[in-house]
Amino acid sequence: MNIENVDYDGLIPNNVGLNGDARVKAALETWHPGYIDWWHDMGPEGFQQARVYLRTAVSVDPKGWAKFDYVRMPEYKWGILLAPQVADRKIPFGVHKGEKAWQDVPGEHRAMLRRLIVIQGDTEPASVEQQRHLGKTAPSLYDMRNLFQVNVEEGRHLWAMVYLLQKYFGADGREEAEELLARRSGDPDTPRMLGAFNEETPDWLSFFMFTFFTDRDGKMQLEALAQSGFDPLSRTCRFMLTEEAHHMFVGETGIGRIVERTCEAMEAAGIADAHDTDAVRRLGVIDLPTIQKKANLHFSLSLDLFGNEISTNAANAFHAGLKGRFREDKIDDDHALESDSYPVVRLVDGKMVEQDVPALSALNMRLRDDYVAQCAAGVGRWNRIIDKFAIPFALELPHVAFHRQIGEFSKVKADAGGNMLSAEEWERRKDEFLPSASDRDFIETLMNPQFEPGKFANWIAPPKVGIDNKPGDFEYVKMA
């Protein structure tokens, strides 16, 4: 993406003309110290003074908006960058479809819009908080650098949402911006707003699963908001999506490299049975069934982020022109959906049945279906790695009824295949589907740091290519 007219001179690099907007500039400069305090308190622990080879907006580079360089994370340039304005953009869906896109908050939709921005904003710092201990057990400097790149960008995404709140929502926007710095992931009194963002990310297998499954929910939400009739939100989200692509890459290749290393070690040791977990674990790699269980956990937590399958909030946000569908601009229909229907798997008298429901109320479901299709494609790519080693094992996504806290299936227990279980059966068998205490203990034994340039922990294969095409032994992080 070609970003023009970025102003790198002040405290806050931006392409939104902050210098000519004294009120918003002052509001953001007032918010800045609290943000830096939050970063010091809740950002990567133990590495605040390390110099990290990050993609960062440090100068106006002819190649684009960013360049790679060493930077101490608290000095990262947390810029406010919007994708270029599309001339004559129209509201692409809902009751206002075809009207000029809003450059200001539409008064009648103000509360709903603010809520959408706050919920998105709240997830950004949450993941930084969840991942703050992982630097200490990084399996390589390459992986540590990728973790920190994700972290600083999530920090910037918080800036992106706070900019919208400060610029367009006056006093209540300022209040929301403060609260985004006050909530804490997992805190019993002031938790983050959504469930998956209050879970722990205790190890690197979890981190890669999180970036694959949970960041992908974020991507889908951003895709839906990038369609918004509120143009500043659309432009912000379009730029964030360019960063989010790297987070998807980190998750997918991270799990792929773990799978590869496990298969390689099994082959070298002559182990053909992936379910002989004791033998596989003795090789110091993560057995495939445990990888499956972690995937089950993170997939099910991430499905909850899409909310209820049937949702009036989602219908209202679409109707109002605030939140669209994935690739709304590529869909061939009337973009109003007033008389369309959409199939949803529901629980009726304890049985799963597919029902056609009004398309407007099934928008969460539709976005989730698009999400599941993308997850499945990624899992397929992991399986091709296993196939190359001719190991008879395939990873798969669990059924959408499995381990749910929100929506149709939150009141029942199901196994990973979607078969209903009694509460007793679930208690007895849940360790078959989700990581058990002993699985977690085993993974913990592998989480030993490998900080030597070019070296990787035994349980993960090196990447095919380095970041910014750097050679294998490049020192991605220089410790303080």
In DSSP terms, 72 is beta-bridged to 51
Of 220 and 337, which CB lies nearer to Fe ion in the complex structure? 220
Of 158 and 286, which CB lies nearer to Fe ion in the complex structure? 158
Closest separation in Å from C-beta 131 to Fe ion = 11
Of 212 and 402, which CB lies nearer to Fe ion in the complex structure? 212
Of 253 and 450, which CB lies nearer to Fe ion in the complex structure? 253
- Measure the CA–CA gap between 237 and 222, rounded to whole angstroms: 5
Binding mask 119-138 for Fe ion (x = CB under 5 A): -----x--------------
Largest separation between any pair of C-alpha atoms in the chain: 68
Closest CA to 43 of 76, 80, 13, 8: 76
Of 131 and 311, which CB lies nearer to Fe ion in the complex structure? 131
- Measure the CA–CA gap between 258 and 458, rounded to whole angstroms: 10
Closest separation in Å from C-beta 330 to Fe ion = 23
Entry field: residues in the chain: 480
Of 225 and 400, which CB lies nearer to Fe ion in the complex structure? 225
Closest CA to 305 of 228, 378, 373, 216: 216
* Binding segment toward Fe ion, per CB under 5 A, in 58-66, 153-161, 225-233, 287-295: 153-161
* Binding segment toward Fe ion, per CB under 5 A, in 56-64, 155-163, 368-376, 385-393: 155-163
Of 129 and 215, which CB lies nearer to Fe ion in the complex structure? 215
Closest CA to 177 of 125, 225, 127: 125
Closest CA to 442 of 118, 202, 182, 241: 202
Closest separation in Å from C-beta 336 to Fe ion = 30
Q: Are 147 and 131 in contact (CB under 8 A)?
A: yes
* Binding segment toward Fe ion, per CB under 5 A, in 71-79, 90-98, 118-126, 304-312: 118-126
Of 222 and 416, which CB lies nearer to Fe ion in the complex structure? 222
Residues touching Fe ion, count (CB under 5 A): 6
Binding mask 203-242 for Fe ion (x = CB under 5 A): ------------x---------------------------
Q: Are 94 and 320 in contact (CB under 8 A)?
A: yes
Closest separation in Å from C-beta 157 to Fe ion = 4
- Measure the CA–CA gap between 137 and 164, rounded to whole angstroms: 36
Q: Are 65 and 1 in contact (CB under 8 A)?
A: yes
DSSP single-letter state for residue 353: E
Closest separation in Å from C-beta 218 to Fe ion = 5
Closest separation in Å from C-beta 222 to Fe ion = 7
Q: Are 212 and 376 in contact (CB under 8 A)?
A: no
Closest separation in Å from C-beta 247 to Fe ion = 4
Of 12 and 158, which CB lies nearer to Fe ion in the complex structure? 158
Closest separation in Å from C-beta 47 to Fe ion = 19
Close Cβ partners of 297 (under 8 Å, ≥ 6 residues apart): 209, 403, 434, 435
What residues numbered 58-87 form the site for Fe ion, per CB under 5 A? none
Closest separation in Å from C-beta 48 to Fe ion = 21
H-type helices in 419-460, by residue range? 423-433, 437-446
User: Any contact of residue 157 with Fe ion (CB under 5 A)?
Assistant: yes
User: Any contact of residue 156 with Fe ion (CB under 5 A)?
Assistant: no
Q: Are 258 and 286 in contact (CB under 8 A)?
A: yes
Give the three-class secondary structure for 56. strand
What residues numbered 240-299 form the site for Fe ion, per CB under 5 A? 244, 247
**Matching residue, tokens 């060493």:** 70
- Phi, psi at 14, each rounded to 5°: -160, 160
Of 121 and 321, which CB lies nearer to Fe ion in the complex structure? 121
- Chain residues that interact with Fe ion, rule: CB under 5 A: 124, 154, 157, 215, 244, 247
